Structure 1
Amino acid sequence: MPRSTPEEARLLILAPVGKDAALAGERFAAAGISCRACRTVAALASEVARGAAAVLVAEEALADGVEPLATVLDRQPVWSDLPVLLLTRPGADSPTVELALRRLGNVILLERPMRVAALVSAATMALRARARQYQSRAQLQSLEETDRRKDEFLATLAHELRNPLAPMRNAVEILRLAAVDLPSASGLADMMGRQVSQMVRLVDDLLEISRITRGTIELRRAPVELSRIVAMAVETSRPLVDGAGHRLEIALPDEPVWLDADATRLAQVISNLVNNAAKYTDPGGLIEIDARREGTEVVLRVRDSGMGMEPWLLPTVFDMFAQGKAASGRAPGGVGIGLTLVRSLVQMHGGSVSAESDGLGRGSVFTVGLPAGTCAAPPSMEESPALGDQVSGAERPDVLVVDDNTDAAESLAALLEILGARSRVVHEGTAAIAACETQAPQIIFLDIGMPNMDGYEVARRIRALPGAEAIHLVALTGWGQDKDRQRSEAAGFDRHLVKPVDVQILRSLLRHAGAWQVQRADAGTHPEDGAGPETAVAHTGFTSQE
């Protein structure tokens, strides 16, 4: 942690007569106070910018104005409030003194004549106050460093957790696709899929803590119909709702209700509210979602028949890490940021959210209000492919999987084969480059964190190969922060997907492999892929799967 510099320990003196400043300096030096005399206000301001513990100024020295010094003081960081000792003439305050009080901030008036001991004592008190400010600075810097390390830890933890989740999800999808005629195996696959999805949500929550506190969540707004957002949310929450045996009822207007919103983020809002309702409602309860347009607002409510809330809890229910006791005495689960995230995302959309409850055992109601949008020409959307839709025959794309994690690579390759691709697997960068030189694939799924040569360097070298501009490069990694996506884009990747990847995204990539090859070679653009709502965010611009 940086310590105070010698300049920051100085008492700067500005007196109208140089001899007065020198004499004062001698007195302070005798008391162990480091001093520096300045000839003008501008010189004083320059020294303050270099560092100072306090300033001693005679009233007469400010006759030509205080602006150079005031300008420097206005730029002080939040922890700093430099003491200014102002030696005044006896009697009523002059306009110069009034201006100094108004513009120089932490001004201490010392009326002359005064004893030398009193002057030294005043300066010593100012220096001690400044020393406490330096302590505050050190504490702030320590907190900032702790926060930075926390962000790094969360990112690393999420990466390490996502790596084993990737082959687990691949295996679940293989089992699900291969066990169509085996109901028992299909049930096991569904169960495993729900648990993997829950683990993915917990990992994502870890990163959301950092994003909320740093204010780095970004919205990708577009006209979107409310029923689509609700469908996305219900699909995410359905395993938790069904697992608890709840009944979910949805009432939406017959006519389309449009919003100018980030569909993925609003689906996250509704899903979090439904998950919260499921968590705090005893098994077999009722959860209701209803929405309607009220004037210039779209109002959506999530009601439950659960345990309700006491009045004292309502004002804090959206606070970070606030958690009540779950239904039937169960541990609430999660990390306690779901409702905090709801409030943040709703407010970013220009809306509001509130919670109501008539008390314990009376259920709860969460109300979200959002500005209504308009859409003159609703965007067309293709239906998501059915689970069994795979590419086949001559359309089968050639895919290369590059990952030093054998389980992750082999399971992804096996899943891609079932989905209709011809897959090859290599486990390090030089082998990937050699494979491209021998026979360039249409799509490469490339891990970033490989030893010897990382994925960024592999991507750059592949892009330098003749004809490699037609290859669709997909970064497949456990790293999912904005800086990671930016590095991937700079290295030549077309997509940045975060492990574990949803099977619908893989299917969409395979279906459009040929079109991407042609368009990248011709103009470097991507076709509309017609993916379902859960994959759309991964194919509109350079972004990661959230």
Structure 2
Amino acid sequence: MTQHPPQSAMPDAPLSSPAGAVRSVQEVSALIEQSAHDLRSSLNAIQSWAYVLDRAFDTMPAPAQRALDGIRFGMQQQLALIEEMEEAVRLLADESAPRWQRLDLLALTAQAIADRRPTAEARGVLLSPVATDGAADSSEAAYLIDGDAERLAPLLRHLLVHCIWRAPAGGSVGVQVLSEPDHVKLRITESPPLDQQRSASRLTALTDFFGRRAAPDGATPARQSSALLLTRRMVEMHGAALSAESDGCDNDRIRVCIAVRFPRHMSA
């Protein structure tokens, strides 16, 4: 669970009150909403010119058509990133206590995959349906956990987006949900790396990031995506644990897996 400094150490004590926290979230929401509006306005101009070019020629030369298709694809990607940024900033600014309820991690994961399948298809990435260990055959509660639905659903979507964006065209992302005695484990497998050295450095970077370890000898820490930054925060608020694992792969390459172990029950 995320640890907060005592109130006396906070930079602005009034914001530690419930009313102050609400005002802070509202201000951040207003700022991110305006920023997103400004970013979309710039894309609208590009979209207008793309529309004009598309209708300026009865038969457009192949290179020009590919360029126009690339512009449209780039705009769609930027719009998706803006939407994800809006959601991520609001969630990161929200310091309210989690609202716990019993949730089916398998069902939420399947919904997250359905929500992000168009993103994967647009990038030419195979996003497989969620796999399980079959525990539901013996217990209906096999994948139930205590969770905050308003945070858990975005957590799953953003984690999938991170892996989809890392995958090359023609790559794949796999998802598993596994039942353990006191936990339910989510395991997302990234697309195979290009070489063994790169996968080994990826494992190290993720392990340090998930464990909030400082870079050795004052080195600059590896840059992580905004989706992964949000994932770490949401996982910690759920009292869960993030880890990086590996799977064997063809030609001795290592496939990296991001694993989250959710406790079945939150302690008081």
Give the match's secondary structure for 2:98.
Answer: coil
Give the match's secondary structure for 2:85.
Answer: helix
Aligned residue among 247, 261, 265 for 1:369: 261
1:346 aligns with 2:238: no
Gapped regions of structure 1 (runs ≥ 5): 1-76, 80-139, 169-189, 325-335, 374-546
- For residues 282-301 of structure 1, what are the structure 2 equivalents within 5 Å? 282-301=168-187
Aligned residue among 207, 221, 232 for 2:90: 207
Give the match's secondary structure for 2:169.
Answer: coil
Q: What residue identity is the alignment partner of 1:228?
A: A
**Separation in 1 of the partners of 2:110 and 2:204?**
33
Q: 2:208 maps to which residue? A: 316
**Separation in 2 of the partners of 1:78 and 1:259?**
34
What CA deviation, in whole Å up to 9, does each residue of 1:55-76 have, x standing for no partner? xxxxxxxxxxxxxxxxxxxxxx
**Separation in 2 of the partners of 1:208 and 1:193?**
23
8 Å CA contact 2:92–2:233 kept in 1: the answer is: no
Q: 1:465 maps to which residue? A: none
What CA deviation, in whole Å up to 9, does each residue of 1:237-282 have, x standing for no partner? 2232112222222203462421221233222222222222112221
Kindly state the Cα deviation for residue 365 of structure 1 after the two structures are TM-superposed.
Answer: 0.6
**Separation in 1 of the partners of 2:25 and 2:103?**
32
**Separation in 1 of the partners of 2:222 and 2:27?**
22
Q: 1:267 to 1:151 in 2, by over 3 A?
A: closer
Q: 1:163 to 1:345 in 2, by over 3 A?
A: same
8 Å CA contact 1:314–1:355 kept in 2: the answer is: yes
Kindly state the Cα deviation for residue 219 of structure 1 after the two structures are TM-superposed.
Answer: 2.2
Q: 1:262 maps to which residue? A: 148
RMSD: 4.0
**Separation in 2 of the partners of 1:322 and 1:337?**
13
8 Å CA contact 1:224–1:258 kept in 2: the answer is: yes
Q: What residue identity is the alignment partner of 1:316?
A: D
Structure ID, larger Rg: 1
Kindly state the Cα deviation for residue 209 of structure 1 after the two structures are TM-superposed.
Answer: 4.4
Give the match's secondary structure for 1:315.
Answer: helix
1:219 aligns with 2:105: no
What CA deviation, in whole Å up to 9, does each residue of 1:12-57 have, x standing for no partner? xxxxxxxxxxxxxxxxxxxxxxxxxxxxxxxxxxxxxxxxxxxxxx
1:356 aligns with 2:260: no
Kindly state the Cα deviation for residue 368 of structure 1 after the two structures are TM-superposed.
Answer: 0.9
**Separation in 2 of the partners of 1:218 and 1:78?**
20
Kindly state the Cα deviation for residue 193 of structure 1 after the two structures are TM-superposed.
Answer: 7.2
Gapped regions of structure 2 (runs ≥ 5): 1-7, 16-20, 44-71, 194-198, 214-220
8 Å CA contact 2:235–2:242 kept in 1: the answer is: yes
**Separation in 2 of the partners of 1:152 and 1:267?**
21
Query: Size of the alignment, in residue pairs?
Result: 196
Q: What residue identity is the alignment partner of 1:313?
A: A
Q: 1:206 to 1:350 in 2, by over 3 A?
A: closer
Give the match's secondary structure for 2:82.
Answer: helix
- For residues 270-281 of structure 1, what are the structure 2 equivalents within 5 Å? 270-281=156-167
8 Å CA contact 2:102–2:144 kept in 1: the answer is: yes
**Separation in 2 of the partners of 1:152 and 1:266?**
21
Kindly state the Cα deviation for residue 312 of structure 1 after the two structures are TM-superposed.
Answer: 4.0
Q: 1:370 to 1:312 in 2, by over 3 A?
A: closer
Q: 1:251 maps to which residue? A: 131
**Separation in 2 of the partners of 1:277 and 1:229?**
17
Give the match's secondary structure for 1:363.
Answer: strand
8 Å CA contact 1:322–1:337 kept in 2: the answer is: no
- For residues 79-98 of structure 1, what are the structure 2 equivalents within 5 Å? none
Q: What residue identity is the alignment partner of 1:199?
A: I
8 Å CA contact 1:251–1:291 kept in 2: the answer is: yes
Normalising by structure 1, report the TM-score.
Answer: 0.31
Q: 1:210 to 1:361 in 2, by over 3 A?
A: farther
Q: 1:194 to 1:367 in 2, by over 3 A?
A: same
Give the match's secondary structure for 1:314.
Answer: helix
- For residues 51-70 of structure 1, what are the structure 2 equivalents within 5 Å? none
Q: What residue identity is the alignment partner of 2:258?
A: F
Give the match's secondary structure for 2:254.
Answer: coil
Kindly state the Cα deviation for residue 366 of structure 1 after the two structures are TM-superposed.
Answer: 0.9
8 Å CA contact 2:91–2:151 kept in 1: the answer is: no
**Separation in 2 of the partners of 1:279 and 1:204?**
17
**Separation in 2 of the partners of 1:361 and 1:208?**
36
Q: 1:264 to 1:305 in 2, by over 3 A?
A: same
Kindly state the Cα deviation for residue 289 of structure 1 after the two structures are TM-superposed.
Answer: 0.6
More helix by share: 2
Kindly state the Cα deviation for residue 354 of structure 1 after the two structures are TM-superposed.
Answer: 0.6
**Separation in 1 of the partners of 2:229 and 2:77?**
24
Aligned residue among 151, 157, 160 for 2:34: 160
